[in-house]
Chain A
Amino acid sequence: MVVELQHVSIRYMVGDFKDIGLKDYIIRKLKGTFTVNEFLAVDDVTFSLEKGDLLGIVGTNGAGKSTLLKAITGIMRPTEGYVKVTGNIAAFLELASGFDGDLTVRENTYLRGAMLGYTHEFMDEMYEEIIAFSELEEFQDRPFKHLSSGMKSRIAFSIACLVNPDILILDEVLSVGDGAFRKKSEAKMKEIIGQGATTILVSHSLEQVRNMCNKVLWLDKGKQIAFGEAKEVCDQYQRYISKK
C-alpha cells in the first residue's frame, strides 16, 4: 500500500485566538469572553490506496477535504489514528498559491521545485520541459505578478506533474486554464498514472472525477460517507446532490 489511513480524526480549533494582540488576549481573558471552539474537521476516515490508484475526493464546502490532504502531506498531524505514506509526495496544496509575485517565473519555478524536495541538478534538467509544457516561454523572466491567474495555475500544474512524484496531490487545479490546456493536462495525468504514480485529486467537477478516477472518497462534515469504486460512489453522490 502506498497511502494508508486508519481511523484518522483531526481536531480543528477556531475562535478568538486568531488575529489578536497580547493586549486583547489579556482583556478577554480577564473578562472571561475568550472562547476557543474545537470541532472534528475530519472524523474517523479509513482508506488505503495502491500503486497506480487515482483517488477523487468529493464533498461540499467544509467537508474536510483540505484538512485531510494536510494530514496526508504531513502538514498536520492527526489527533487520532495514523497516516502512513510510502514514497515521495509532491504536494503543494492549493497549487497556484505560495508563489512570490516579485520573483520571476524562472525563480519561482526553482523555488517551488526546492519546496517539493528536488535537487538543483534535477531542476536544471527539468526546467525547459516544465516551461515548455506550461507554454510560458516568453514569460520566463517576467515577474510572477504579471501572469494571469490561468497562467499561474498552468505553471503550478506543470511543476507538480513533470517532476515525476510517486504520489501526486492535485488540489483544485484542473478547473482553471483554458480548454486546450485542460485537455493537455488530463492527458498528462493519465500518462503519470500509467507510469504507476498514485494520485489524489480534489475537484468540484463530478464529471472530471468520474472520468479520471478509479476510486472515490466522499466526505461530508468530516465524516466518511463512502469510499469505493468511482462509478458507485459518484452515482450515490449525484443522487444526494440532486435531492438537496
Chain B
Amino acid sequence: MIEKLKKYKFLFEELVKRDFKKKYKRTVLGMLWSLLSPLLTLAVMSLVFTNLFGRTTVHYTIYLFAGNIVFAYFREATYTGMSSLVANASIFTKVNVPKYIFLLSQNVSSFINFCLTLLIFFLFAAFDGVAFTWKFILLIYPIACLVIFNLGIGLILSALFVFYKDTQYLYDIFIMLLMYLSAIFYKVDTFSMTAQQLFMLNPIYVYITYFRSIVLDSAIPSLSIQILCVVYALAAILLGGWIYKKYNYKFLYYL
C-alpha cells in the first residue's frame, strides 16, 4: 500500500494540477466564482427564508450557512466525482493505473473549495456574534467523516455512471429531494419525535446537525450522532471500494 502510494504520488499531483487548471480555466475569476456561488445561494436563501423561518431562530443566517456549506460540498464532490471514470476512460483503458486515483484528485479541488467556504463561514459567524469555543476543534471529526463519505459516494456513483448513462438524471432528482430532507432552511423540532428520528437516516442531515450543534449551541453532539457520522462514512467507502474491486477489470467493456 505504502509502495503504491509512493509510486503514484507524482501521477496524483499531476492529476490534481490538471483538474484545478481545467476547473478554474487558469483565472483568478474562476476561483473567485466558485467561492461566490455558495455566497449568492446563501444570500438568496436568507432573503427568502428569514421571513418564513428566521423570526424564531437566533443566528438564522449562520444556521442556514452551516447547512449550505455541508450540502454544497457533498453535492459538488459527488457530482464531479460521478464523471471521474467516464471522463478519464481514454486514460485507464490505455495505461495500467489505479482507477480510483481520478476520483481522489477530483475530490481534492472540491475539498479545497469547501475549506475556503468554511473560512468565510467562520468570518460570518464571528460577525454575527457567535461565541468561538475550544469545541470548534471537534469539527475536524465530522469533516473527516464527510470527506470519506463523499469519496465513498463518489466511488459508487462513478461506477454506476459507467454502467448506466442516465445515472446523472436520476441523481439530479435524488439530490434535489435530499436537499429538502436535509433541513437546510427549516428546523426539525416542529416534527414529531419519530419523524425527527427518521431524519437521522439522512447522512447529510447528521453532518449538518453536528456542525450546528458545535457552532450555534457550542454543545458536543450526542454519542449516537458521533457514531452515525463514522458509520455512514465507513459504509459508503466500503461499498464503493468493494464495487471498484469487483468491477476493476469490467469497466473497460462499458466504455
- Which chain A residues have a beta carbon within 8 Å of chain B's beta carbons? 12-14, 17-25, 70, 73-77, 89, 91-94, 97-98, 100, 102-103, 107, 110-111, 113-120, 123
Contact = CB atoms under 8 A, between A and B. Distances in A.
A21 B90 contact: no
Contact of A114 (B10, B21, B163, B166): B10
Given A21-B164, A75-B93, A75-B94, A111 B252 contact: no
Bin the interface of chain B by size: 20 to 34
Contact of A120 (B10, B15, B22): B10
Main secondary structure of the interface of A (DSSP, over half): loop
A100 B165 CA distance: 23
A183 B143 CA distance: 57
B253 A111 contact: no
B11 to A, nearest CB: 4
Nearest to B164: A22
Contacts of B167: 21-22
Main secondary structure of the interface of B (DSSP, over half): helix
B94 A21 contact: no
Interface of B: 7, 10-11, 13-15, 17-18, 21-22, 90-97, 163-167, 169-170, 249, 252-254
Contacts of A107: 14, 17-18, 21
Contacts of A17: 163, 253-254
Contact of B90 (A20, A23, A97, A119): A97
A115 B90 contact: no
Contacts of B92: 75
Contacts of B170: 22
A117 B249 CA distance: 20
A117 B166 contact: no
A24 B91 CA distance: 28
Contacts of B252: 70, 75-76
A134 B167 CA distance: 42
A111 B14 contact: yes
A12 B96 CA distance: 18
A66 to B, nearest CB: 10
A82 B165 CA distance: 33
B11 A115 contact: yes
Contact of A115 (B93, B97, B165): B97
Contact of B18 (A21, A25, A91, A100): A100
Nearest to A108: B18
